[in-house]
Amino acid sequence: MSDFLKIQGLQARIDADGTPKDILKGLDLEVPKGEIHAIMGPNGSGKSTLSYVLAGRDDYEVTGGSATFKGQDLLALEPEERAALGLFLAFQSPVELPGVNNANFLRTAVNAVRRARGEAELDAVAFLKAVRAETKHLSMSDDMLKRAVNVGFSGGEKKRNEVLQMRLLQPSFAILDETDSGLDIDALRIVAEGVNSLRSPDFSALVITHHQRLLDYIVPDRVHVMAHGRIIHSGGPDIAKTLEKQGYTQFLEAAA
């Protein structure tokens, strides 16, 4: 099934202090079922915008093009409907929810998604069992479940919490937006392992990153280079190594 995630000519803009600013300018991308793709690109190329638009953040205005997921018009769905359909975005900067107990948040989210997918909700005991297995896997302390969502979490803890959510929500498509930023090498390995163990013929991911380093741990099937709101080059995992050595210049020149 080649049209698992299919983006065609996607254009989007954001209102920057009253003047609309075009960020995505005709982006094409396909991620088939079971594949992990990476997007690399310089700052300001629109990588994060792409992830937000796919997840349904409404301060971006889609002005053209299309995005379908599992054959459905993704852009017509509410963010929570996209989550139910199997889309997951691991945030670059996870948001703090003061006073909201992390375990309670996770369980509310898991059950909301299960309900929408027509699955039975997890009771407190079943949920705790599931979550404990995952936290152990991610070397997270139980203490993080008792604290308020992301409040007072270190950068590494926040990212692990994102991966924890991803694993609990069991998405079929995950977007990881610079999940490697702010991680030391051990944390990076743990996070990457969390993603790799989801690899299956039914799971795809889009890994957005600045650095080749993450791709040592999560080896992508394809790498796309993004600049000026478009994918300007696509290829095998080797591109990442080329980028690391030579920078974006050659791709930018070739695209110009």
DSSP H helical ranges for 40-101: 47-55, 79-85
Q: Check residue 109 for interaction with another protein (CB under 8 A).
A: yes
195-234 binders of another protein (CB under 8 A): none
Q: Check residue 97 for interaction with another protein (CB under 8 A).
A: yes
- Cβ neighbours for 17, distance < 8 A, ≥ 6 positions apart: none
- Least distance between another protein and beta carbon 120 (Å): 15
21-40 binders of another protein (CB under 8 A): none
Stretch that binds another protein, among 100-108, 126-134, 176-184, 208-216 (CB under 8 A): 100-108
Is residue 137 within 8 A of residue 194, CB to CB? The reply is yes
Which residue number, 144 or 225, has a Cβ lying nearer to another protein? 144
Stretch that binds another protein, among 30-38, 41-49, 92-100, 182-190 (CB under 8 A): 92-100
Residue 124, classed as helix, strand or coil, is: helix
- Least distance between another protein and beta carbon 171 (Å): 10
Residue 155: phi, psi to the nearest 5?
A: -55, -45
What's the CA angle centered on 81, arms 168 and 16, to 5 degrees? 105
Residue 99: phi, psi to the nearest 5?
A: 80, -15
163: left (phi over 0), alpha (psi -120 to 50) or beta: alpha
- Binding letters toward another protein, positions 137-176, x by CB under 8 A: -----------xx---------------x---x-------
Q: Which of 62, 100, 128, 130 binds another protein (CB under 8 A)?
A: 100
Strand extents, DSSP E, the chain: 5-16, 19-31, 36-40, 60-69, 72-73, 87-90, 97-101, 148-149, 173-177, 204-209, 222-227, 230-235
Which residue number, 90 or 215, has a Cβ lying nearer to another protein? 90
Q: Which of 182, 194, 168 is nearest to 88 (CA)?
A: 168
112-141 binders of another protein (CB under 8 A): 112-113, 116
Q: Check residue 71 for interaction with another protein (CB under 8 A).
A: no
Q: Which of 99, 118, 120, 245 binds another protein (CB under 8 A)?
A: 99
- Least distance between another protein and beta carbon 103 (Å): 13
Q: Which of 94, 2, 14 is nearest to 53 (CA)?
A: 14
**What does the binding site for another protein look like in residue numbers (CB under 8 A)?**
55-59, 78-80, 82-84, 88-89, 91, 94-101, 104-105, 108-110, 112-113, 116, 148-149, 165, 169
